[in-house]
Each structure stands twice: as structure tokens, then as C-alpha cells.
Amino acid sequence: MLSIHTRRQSAFTLVELLVVIAIIGILVGMLLPAVQQVRESARRAECSNNIRQMGLASQNYLSSFRKFPDGLYTNDEDTTATLPPDSGAPYDLKYFGFTVHQRLLPFIEQDNLYDQWNFNLSADDAKSNTLDETGAMTDNAPSATVVAMYQCPSDIIDDGPVLLDWDSRGYSQGWHAITSYVANGGTFSSYFRSSGMQDDGMFFMTGPGSKPGSWLVNLTENAKPCKDRDVVDGMSNTFLFGERYHFDPVFDDVLHENSSTPKARYPLKKYGAWGWIGGGNGTTHVFASTRVPLNYTLPEDATDDWEFLDFRLNAFGSGHPAGANFCFTDGSTRFISNFIDLVTYQNLSTRSGQEVISADALR
């Protein structure tokens, strides 16, 4: 028979138990960052694959049509698209058309969605893409369809579509799915009527509404999309698509929630509607540019003015640490560091600037 003394020795003392718990806590604390790092590595790899597929789809489009897709085709007919009686008041779509994301659908195995899309060039045709089979504006509309390849797993966006409900003249309404991947609009690509607007990237406004004002001296009337011969700088040296990160509390606070105008019609997570169908601000949904550094976010002392709105909506960025994924025009992908020289970064966004990009500049 065991003695009382022996039985007492076989159990943990309170001190020993506390030591074990402390050790386990330390090990868990050491393990969690490693697990998070592995998860983020997997998300970054998935994101890189998504954007690579978009690049390959663009190359296949080029092979099929001998040109790249329109970035943002805009018809400038001034007309009113009238909603069904149960959907609210009528709204105007002065600028309407389609995006590069819509054109790429059959090249990323989204033929069924592409077949649902109405590419006819009237305001009512464009508006029909925001209506479901019954003619109601719901989240079952083609524009509301979430395309997994168009979303980065590290981005901060809603799981489903968002409602764009700004009812001022010229703005698209309805349910829209958001994309994390925006087209390279060159060195300045924000508000479509800003005097500094450029068309020096791979994508820009095309069609009858491509120069919506005589003061837009850098834009071309009835512009056509790029062909391969237009990429003078070389396809391996020119961005095609990049990421946009939808998290910036200062943007939402200063320019949307507490803005006197407001300058931002929506919180940041509602910018990036791949199914844009009309309204001049399609450029803010579809394009980004290198006007500001990579992963630019608004500073704490940002003020409620249009310049800060343009800065943030121009910015490429991501939820990945230290940089973002970019697809180049040849279909290759690279992870570009936040510390890239701004001049080199901007040179990579132009298609025919004839800049020399050294191999060391991208390391």
C-alpha cells in the first residue's frame, strides 16, 4: 500500500502547474505569429495567382482581337434611364459603357456571366445589368455577382455585393460586387474630369466619352484601346493590373462620414465596382495610378478636400505586408516593395515613356 507521502509526490503542485501554464502560453505566443505568417503567405500566393490569371486573360484577349480590352468604354449620350415603377425615381446616365473586367469574363471561365451582360450602348441597356430577372434592382443582378478571381483574400471588403445608392445625376446605382484588382491607369487616373487626368497607362477611357472636357489636354477624343505595338517600353516593364486595399479609416472619417459635401460618395470599401455601368466616376472604380507612392493612405491631419480624395483613389496598395502584387503586360507577376523608388514606380506605369528600367530597380 502506497504511503500518503508517496501519493502527494505524484501530483503537481500549484507552483508547477503555474509554470507549465506559463510555458504553454509562451509557446502559443511564439507559434501564433508563425501561423499567421503562413496564412498570409498562402493568401499572397493566391492573390498572385488571381492577378496572373487576369494578365493571361488579357494576353488571350490580345491574341483574339489584336488589341487589349477597353479600360473604361464610355458613351457620352445624355439620356435618362428610367427605373421600373417599384424601384424608385429615374436617374441619368450621361456616361455609360463597360469595363476591362467585364470584357475579360469569357477568358477567366466566366462565360455564363458574360452571356448575361448587356453590352448594347444605350443607357437603358447599361442599366439593365443592375436588374435581376424580374426587372428589379436587387443583389441578384449580374453587376452584383462576386467573381472570386477578382478579390484578394487579404483585402478588407464585404463578402457580398454593396449597394451604390448615390442619387445625384450621372451616378450608377444598384448592387455591385467589388474587385481588389484595378487597371493600370498610368500616372494620374482618378476623377475623370480632373485637369491632370492622363491616358499614359495600359488602360484609360475609350469611346465617344473618352475626353469629357476640352480642358483635358492629355486625353484623346474617341480614344481606342492599346495594341501591342503601343507598348514601347516593353511588356515586361509595364504594369497591367495592380491591387487596391480597401482599408483607410481616415479616408472614411474625413472624406465620407464627416465631410461637409461629402467628397467621397461612399466609404472606401465601396470603390472598385468591376461591373460599373455608368456615371463619370467609373474611373475611380476601375483604375489606379502611380500619382502617389504604393500603399499610400491618408495622413492623420488630412483635410476635407478633393485633393486628398484624388490622392487616395489613385493609390495601388494591398493587405500584404510591405508591398503589393502587380501583373505586368506580358502576363508575369511580381511583388513590388513599398520602398520602390517613386520615379521607377511611375516609369513602370507608363507604356511609352521610353524610360530605362534596370533589373536592380525591382529587387
The number of beta carbons lying within 10 Å of the beta carbon of residue 344 is: 16
**What's the rounded mean pLDDT across residues 133-157?**
95
Cα 143 versus chain centre, distance = 15
Position 82 pLDDT exceeds 60: no
Q: Residue 230: which domain range?
A: 40-362
For residue 195, the SS3 value is: coil
pLDDT digits (tens, 9 = 90+) for 37-65: 778 889 999 999 999 999 999 999 999 99
Asked, for residue 25, whether it belongs to a domain, the answer is no
Please tell me the least confidently modeled range out of 22-31, 140-149, 306-315.
Answer: 22-31
- Phi, psi (deg, nearest 5) at residue 318: -155, 170
Name the band, by pLDDT with cuts 50, 70 and 90, for residue 168: low
Are 301 and 313 within 8 A, CB to CB? no
Residue written as grid cell 450621372: 170
Are 123 and 236 within 8 A, CB to CB? no
Asked, for residue 19, whether it belongs to a domain, the answer is no
- Phi, psi (deg, nearest 5) at residue 328: -90, 170
Number of domains in the chain: 1
State the DSSP code for 241.
Answer: E
Are 175 and 130 within 8 A, CB to CB? yes
Asked, for residue 78, whether it belongs to a domain, the answer is yes
DSSP line for 282-301 = HHHHHEEBSSS-TT----TT
Asked, for residue 20, whether it belongs to a domain, the answer is no
Name the band, by pLDDT with cuts 50, 70 and 90, for residue 87: very low
pLDDT digits (tens, 9 = 90+) for 319-335: 999 999 999 999 999 99
Are 331 and 338 within 8 A, CB to CB? no
Q: Please give the residue that has the higher pLDDT: either 158 or 154.
A: 154
Are 197 and 188 within 8 A, CB to CB? yes
Please give the mean pLDDT across all residues of the chain. 88
Cα 124 versus chain centre, distance = 26
Position 241 pLDDT exceeds 50: yes
Q: Please report the pLDDT score of residue 83 as a whole number.
A: 44
Cα 75 versus chain centre, distance = 23
Asked, for residue 214, whether it belongs to a domain, the answer is yes
The number of beta carbons lying within 10 Å of the beta carbon of residue 6 is: 9
Closest by CA to 342, choosing from 295, 278, 309, is 295
Are 158 and 178 within 8 A, CB to CB? yes
Please tell me the least confidently modeled range out of 2-16, 253-267, 322-336.
Answer: 2-16
Q: Please report the pLDDT score of residue 309 as a whole number.
A: 95
Pairing of strands 205-206, 72-75: parallel
The burial of 25, by beta-carbon neighbours within 10 Å (0-12 exposed, 13-18 middle, 19 or more buried), is given as exposed
Are 211 and 197 within 8 A, CB to CB? no
Q: Please report the pLDDT score of residue 90 as a whole number.
A: 47
- H helical segments located in the chain: 4-9, 14-65, 100-103, 111-116, 123-128, 249-250, 282-286, 306-314, 342-347
Q: Give how far Cα 121 sits from Cα of 79, 94, 97, 169, Å.
A: 12, 12, 7, 19
Q: Please give the residue that has the higher pLDDT: either 199 or 279.
A: 199
Position 162 pLDDT exceeds 60: yes
State the DSSP code for 244.
Answer: -
Asked, for residue 268, whether it belongs to a domain, the answer is yes
Asked, for residue 310, whether it belongs to a domain, the answer is yes
State the DSSP code for 251.
Answer: I
Asked, for residue 32, whether it belongs to a domain, the answer is no
pLDDT digits (tens, 9 = 90+) for 287-301: 999 999 999 999 999
Name the band, by pLDDT with cuts 50, 70 and 90, for residue 216: very high
Please state, in angstroms and rounded to a whole number, the distance separating the CA atoms of residues 302 and 309: 10
Are 93 and 303 within 8 A, CB to CB? no
Position 33 pLDDT exceeds 90: no
State the DSSP code for 36.
Answer: H
Q: Please report the pLDDT score of residue 173 as a whole number.
A: 85
